[in-house]
Amino acid sequence: MADGSKLGTLRQMALLATALVKIRVLRRPMPLFGEWNVTFRCNLRCKYCGACNAAADELGTDDVQRGLDTLWDLGVRWLTFGGGEPLIRKDIGEILAHARARGFVVFLSTNGWLVPQHMDDLRYVDHVNLSLDGPRAVHDDVRGPGAFDKTLEAAEACRQGGISVSLQCVMSSYNLGVLDDVVAIARAQGLMVMFQPATKWLDSSTEANPIAPPVEPYREAIAHLVELKRSGAPVRNSVAGLEHLAKWPDPTPIWCSAGVLTFSIEPDGTMLACHQAQVGRFLKGHRPGTALDVQYADLSVPKGCVQCWCAPMVELALLFSLRPAALWNALRSYL
């Protein structure tokens, strides 16, 4: 949360403290964190993602910029642009520039392939999150030939450009045995890496995920990551976060930030409390047309959902539940 923040450390901490009181004590929403999937198009065909198969129109540049204005007025301050592959949009520089001009802390999640060509656009970004699912052979098997080298090229480009960067590893049936290699690569690159399981369905889809990890080997891998974290490895998850993820895929209650602290916007402007829990909604043709048509107060928390396996959302949930390990893990990013 603190990476390269334009808001400033004290301002960020004050916002988080205010949100904690407003949400957990006064039971009122305070939308600080948003994710905007600006496209479902992508230059890769990763084996655990169905985004490219999700039919959704994309808002034009002007509508996105007006939506950003609305989000700022609603109180949003942290905004992550994702996809699909967000850098595939020709107007991504205009979108990022507008977000920065409004004052958002801007994050961007990318597979890294197009990063070197967009360094001028990325000067408006506070933090870049790059995909890394294993050493070259494994990563390329999951994402496509050449993807591993492109991730490392993107990391180097971000470092050279002075842009904060980290890695994200999706745990699947392909990489449970090579997580030590992922950590070693992160350490060699001087970067932190966050781990999370592939969902049981394709991301941005309702189809079964063919490479979802087998449960027992996955849990053994998570236990190993806990050991690595405790030994000082560059694992970005907190120990508490990893312990929660170890319960995948069994329904596991956790405080839910969806529609209260966080939300998601799809390429066509559909505003959701949670992309994963409500993925069927936009696939069934819900088309408000623009983010301006949806007020944050109208969002409803998904009913009956007792699980969350998205690592950043888990960390936020534990942080707002005042779990010591998560609090310390977050605090260290400010030190």
Sheet of strand 127-131: strand arrangement: 193-197, 164-171, 127-131, 105-110, 78-82, 33-37, 262-265, 271-272
What band does 283 get if pLDDT is binned at 50, 70 and 90?
very low
Largest CA distance in the chain: 51
Question: With 0-12 CB in 10 A as exposed, 13-18 as middle and 19+ as buried, what is 301?
Answer: middle
Residue 128 bridge partners (DSSP): 108, 165
**Number of continuous H segments (helices) and E segments (strands) in the chain:** 12, 8
> How far is residue 291's CA from residue 89's CA, in Å, rounded to a whole number?
18
Q: Which of 39-48, 70-79, 182-191, 302-311 has the lowest mean pLDDT?
A: 302-311
Residue 293 CB coordination number (10 Å): 14
- What's the rounded mean pLDDT across residues 227-238? 97
Backbone angles phi, psi at 177, to 5 degrees: -90, 0
**193-210 burial by CB neighbour count: b if 16+ within 10 A, else e?**
bbbbbbbebbbbbeeebe
Backbone Cα Rg of the chain = 18
CB-based contact 124:87 (threshold 8 Å) = no
pLDDT of residue 295: 47
Assess whether pLDDT exceeds 50 at residue 256: yes
Please report whether residue 15 resides in a domain.
no
Residues above pLDDT 90, as percent of the chain = 67
CB-based contact 311:245 (threshold 8 Å) = yes
Q: Show the domain range for 286.
A: 27-332
Assess whether pLDDT exceeds 60 at residue 6: no
Please report whether residue 311 resides in a domain.
yes
> How far is residue 111's CA from residue 84's CA, in Å, rounded to a whole number?
9
Provide the CA 231 distance to its chain's centre, in angstroms.
Answer: 25
Please report whether residue 74 resides in a domain.
yes
pLDDT one-digit tens code per residue, 170-223: 999 999 999 999 999 999 999 999 999 998 876 666 678 889 999 999 999 999
Report how many domains make up the chain: 1
Q: Which of 69-78, 87-96, 107-116 has the lowest mean pLDDT?
A: 69-78
Please report whether residue 2 resides in a domain.
no
- What's the rounded mean pLDDT across residues 292-309? 64
Tell me how far apart the terminal alpha carbons of the chain are, to the nearest angstrom: 12
pLDDT of residue 294: 46
| Type of residue numbered 115 | V
pLDDT of residue 1: 41
> How far is residue 81's CA from residue 127's CA, in Å, rounded to a whole number?
11
CB-based contact 169:182 (threshold 8 Å) = yes
> What angle, rounded to 10 degrees, do the helices at 324-332 and 311-319 form?
110
What band does 243 get if pLDDT is binned at 50, 70 and 90?
very high
CB-based contact 67:265 (threshold 8 Å) = yes
Predicted TM-score (pTM) of this structure? 0.90
Backbone angles phi, psi at 73, to 5 degrees: -65, -25
Please report whether residue 217 resides in a domain.
yes
Please report whether residue 21 resides in a domain.
no
- What's the rounded mean pLDDT across residues 237-250? 96
Assess whether pLDDT exceeds 90 at residue 166: yes
> How far is residue 235's CA from residue 168's CA, in Å, rounded to a whole number?
10
Please report whether residue 180 resides in a domain.
yes
Please report whether residue 325 resides in a domain.
yes
CB-based contact 189:166 (threshold 8 Å) = no
Assess whether pLDDT exceeds 80 at residue 111: yes
Write the CATH number for 72: 3.20.20.70
Q: Higher pLDDT residue, 235 or 210?
A: 235
